Amino acid sequence: MTAHAAALRAPQQDRSRATRRRLLEAAVECLAEVGWNGSTVAVVAERAGVTRGAAQHHFPTREDLFTAAVEYVADERLAAVRASAEQLPPAGSGRTEAVVSMIVRLYTGPLFRAGLHLWVAAATEEALRERIVALENHVGRESHRAAVEFLGADESVPGVRETVQATMDMARGLGLANLLTDDGPRRAGIVRQWAGLLETALAGGRPSC
């Protein structure tokens, strides 16, 4: 490539990346609002202000677009959580509750809602299933790793790994409970109580009162 061609190419790549990002963000918003049935490539392209042809250039199939969208937004969200982690209070002064709140927030926003529509669609759509299983593994692993790190949990202690997993499962259950109604007030009490139990459990590995 000549220097001139390279100079022309860079802004084009930037534009292409920006288009891709707009499509991915629009896809997650769309899934969260209207569910899998209403989420077509055309609807997302329109929301993103992109032609349908351009959308299909980036994502040849509907499954490509939505799987990539949930993965992209999940990774962005996790990166944002990691970036804000230094604002967490130090251990022993409400840190555990702050971390549990942070995890639960990941599962109660529009990203979880979008993911939920995709997971449930994948239960009956073969074309989605394999990708969604891989996506779930990836996101689950990264979230678990972040939780272990922020909680300062030592997974070499028997039971600690399962305690952290139970926390993620509880957060997922709270996300589902928030789907149709605002479950916020009930959830706040559960987060507080869980944080107390978790702090005790992590201090001792297995409960040993």
- Does the footprint of its own copies cover residue 57 (CB under 8 A)? no
Q: Tell me, what DSSP letter sits at residue 85?
A: G
SS3 state at 202: helix
Judged by beta carbon, residue 7 or residue 179, the one nearer its own copies is 179
Give residue 177's identity as a one-letter amino acid code.
A
Judged by beta carbon, residue 53 or residue 189, the one nearer its own copies is 189
- Does the footprint of its own copies cover residue 127 (CB under 8 A)? no
Residue list 79-108, contact with its own copies (CB under 8 A) = none
- Does the footprint of its own copies cover residue 16 (CB under 8 A)? no
> Least Å distance between CB 207 and its own copies?
4
Q: How far is CA 112 from the centre of its chain?
A: 6
Q: How many CB atoms lie within 10 A of CB 170?
A: 18
Q: How many CB atoms lie within 10 A of CB 4?
A: 8
- Does the footprint of its own copies cover residue 155 (CB under 8 A)? no
Sign, CA torsion 7/13/19/25: negative
Placement of tokens 């702050």 in the chain: 98
Determine the Cα–Cα distance for residues 171 and 19; give it in Å rounded to an integer.
Answer: 33
- Does the footprint of its own copies cover residue 133 (CB under 8 A)? yes
List of residues contacting its own copies (CB under 8 A): 33-35, 37-38, 113, 116-117, 119-124, 129, 132-133, 136, 159, 161-163, 165-166, 168-177, 179-181, 186, 189-190, 192-194, 196-197, 199-201, 203-204, 206-209
